[in-house]
Structure 1
């Protein structure tokens, strides 16, 4: 069976009840329903979000609610029974959850990105099988990245054919969601150097999932280690994901789009936290002659600036979502380029407003806002940690290189 380990006592064990389902998940039928369900869940998830962060307590009940709500299946194509919501709807769902708990919002990121790979690269029988699992409430984790490789795209995990099928050996890190997943997609390279996603149930022999994520932000994503020792894989569970990047597809844009949505949600939640604290706890500055901190003209201007920057970031994110929809409907080089460029622009803006909002939270709220019992630093820790997915200096480069030199954006999951 799969080993679910906890390193150095940093987290509680994962009970089997997290993986049990007494009934299939609800199936969401429309964009409007998806947004409404997200709003309802966000109210519940907000209640203990700070405590979960402080204690590094995994969202065991919450992730069950989240996947059983049907939100993890909203991008399943209509022909397979899903809602196939618009991508601007998906970003609103992710932002809504991220505004109260960005760790929870990050957990389905790889799951949702992998749904697109199933649409693009899986055969009809594979699509029917795995999309049906998703609609029932099954969660995909991830075992993609490696900690010590030369670059993020340089993979050492191997996929080899054996007399009984296939076998995987290697070691993964940043495995967000794997600890709490029913199935773990593992990216490994075959003997020709081609990356495949091998889907294995979490209880497959040779899979050891370790909760050793020690990042100061996004603490409850369990983005730790997955050890893979002679893991058997059935041929029908292999997806040739390398094919998605041999031709124009929106796969990379979708992966980055969801990351940007998390950052926008972090910014949204942080700004609301700042407004609440300034209104209810901050003191007017001694030289202002004012009774309330919320009447300070400089504070007012700063809040206005944050709101404008967030509005701009969210607007570009919506445009990126529309471009992804177009690239899915009509997958041309031009449409994929536009989707990738708009996602890059959105990623820059959401990163900048998330970090700015987290800094301004303390500047505008005052020294008392740094008290550890308030745990307001979680907003900065989460913003600083999650915006590292992926470096915005290269987003500027992608956009500038296209418009200045006509160089198309690279085709991979990080552009």
Structure 2
């Protein structure tokens, strides 16, 4: 029997002709790292072993700096290239894209709005291997920022940071933590060293999935902040510039989900090939030749293909918007269209990946539920990722847009702010 190699199957996922050759180089560059990460995924899950080693492998390979422009020392990959690689990382271990999500969002923020001095300072650091995490959100349902930034009474160029954040995704792995605070007049976005005196990072995330993302509490006790660590001061009541950050952050989640679908197909296929008994068939038999097992695998392959194709399509739209922005041609309509596309993709990818992570158990019956295999991690991780952002609100926003032309950002401004300003585990 002839088996089509996985790289041939991957070629079915759409990519532009211009990206093709570099895609192959990038995939080859990270193949070994992804393989090592995947090899330890089950053990890390079973032991709740934080992924410090895996994160270090990615740092050494330059993965966190993929989107940093070459002039600052990064790779400057396109958004479609980036999201295809992120999907492969999600296949290896879905905790890793989420650990790095705020690092990648931080890069996009710098590319979008900062002056050159800030952009060069921080992007060069990321290119040199320094990792960014975040402590942006709080447990409260309010949009109030309870973390305070007050001027040091002894030095006008220094500040003191106090308070507590939750959903601090990736902070325990990070060199720098991006923090939202309030100085009494303005909301302030700033950076603090992860190991600075007074910073206390806790691994108290208690979700049943994505357990290794360190998405718990970060406390700040009189942490010193220099003026150069402050990125932005603004009032929440002030109108914000149009941005593709919402669609970008959402596609990171969708790429992670598409990676989980690939992992579900991979593990279901490996399980069926290795076994010599088909459910419901006494004695020795070949699951790989059973039409019902073949049908399950066929469905899993189709769900994975669809999810990955939607991620790639949204990545292409993000790339076009990025190019329009750089050329000064992006308009409000550009960003509204991105939001709508991201929300529509979210509805489909979530449903497809949750179906895939349940369906994979149909290839093996009760033996597929073994703790040794931890196949349940795919559903648990997908379910947690799918819960981060309000999919049901987004579906209503899509309908309101098509019926009444209401921009999603107007209808669900708080949901937008939540998506941009927190990784939510």
> TM-score w.r.t. structure 1 length?
0.86
Q: Judge conservation of contact 1:253–1:324 (CA < 8 Å) in 2.
A: yes
User: Match of 1:268?
Assistant: 262
Q: Which residue of 2 is the match for residue 56 of structure 1? A: 48
The runs of 5 or more residues in structure 1 that have no matched partner are 1-28
In the alignment, structure 1 residue 123 sits paired with structure 2 residue 115: yes
Deviation at 1:128, TM superposition (A): 0.9
Distance change >3 Å, CA 324–CA 412, structure 1 → 2: farther
1:280/1:127 Cα in 2 relative to 1: closer, same or farther (>3 Å)? same
Give 3-state SS (helix, strand or coil) of 2:180's partner.
strand
Given that residues 186 and 234 in structure 2 are in contact (C-alpha distance below 8 angstroms), is that contact kept between their aligned partners in structure 1? no
- Indicate the RMSD between aligned Cα atoms, in angstroms: 2.4
CA deviation profile, 1:326-358 (whole Å, cap 9, x unmatched): 222223212212222222222222222221111
Aligned to 1:225: 217
* Count of equivalent residues: 384
What is the rounded CA distance, in whole Å, between the counterparts of 2:233 and 2:255 in structure 1? 23
Given the superposition, is the C-alpha separation of residues 320 and 241 from structure 1 closer, same or farther in structure 2, using an over 3 Å criterion?
A: farther
Q: Please give the residue correspondences for 1:59-98 in structure 2 after superposition, counting only pairs within 5 Å.
A: 59-98=51-90
- Give the TM-score, by structure 2 length: 0.84
Change (3 A) 1:154 1:354: farther
Deviates more, 1:100-109 or 1:183-192: 183-192
SS at 1:185's partner residue? strand
Give secondary structure in 2 for the equivalent of 1:220.
Answer: coil
Query: Quick check: 1:395 aligned with 2:394?
Result: yes
Confirm whether residue 132 of structure 1 aligns to residue 121 of structure 2.
Answer: no
Alpha-carbon displacement from aligned partner over 1:153-181 (angstroms, at most 9, x marks no partner): 44322233344332222211121211111
Q: Which residue of 2 aligns with 1:412?
A: 417
Match of 1:280 in 2: 274
- 1:299 counterpart = 2:298: no
Q: Distance in 1 between matches of 2:276 and 2:299?
A: 19
Structure 1, residues 371-408: CA drift from partner, whole Å, max 9, x if none?
Answer: 22222222222122222222321232232222221111
Match of 1:12 in 2: none
- Residues 31-90 of structure 1 deviation map (CA, whole Å, 9 limit, x = unaligned): 554333332211111111100110011122221111121111111134434332121111
Residue 266 of structure 1: how far off its partner (Å): 0.9
Q: Would you identify which runs of 4 or more consecutive aligned residues in structure 1 move more than 6 Å?
A: 287-290
Residue 208 of structure 1, aligned match among 179, 200, 208: 200
Matches within 5 A, 1:38-53: 38-53=30-45
User: Secondary structure of 1:229's partner?
Assistant: strand
- 8 Å CA contact retained: 1:282, 1:365: no
Matched, 1:187 2:180: yes
| Counterpart contact for 2:303–2:356, Cα < 8 Å | no
Match of 1:246 among 240, 249, 262: 240
Whether contact under 8 Å (2:134, 2:169) holds in the other structure is yes
- Deviation of residue 108 (structure 1)? 0.8
Q: Tell me whether 1:158 sits opposite 2:158 in the alignment.
A: no
Q: CA deviation at 1:307?
A: 2.1
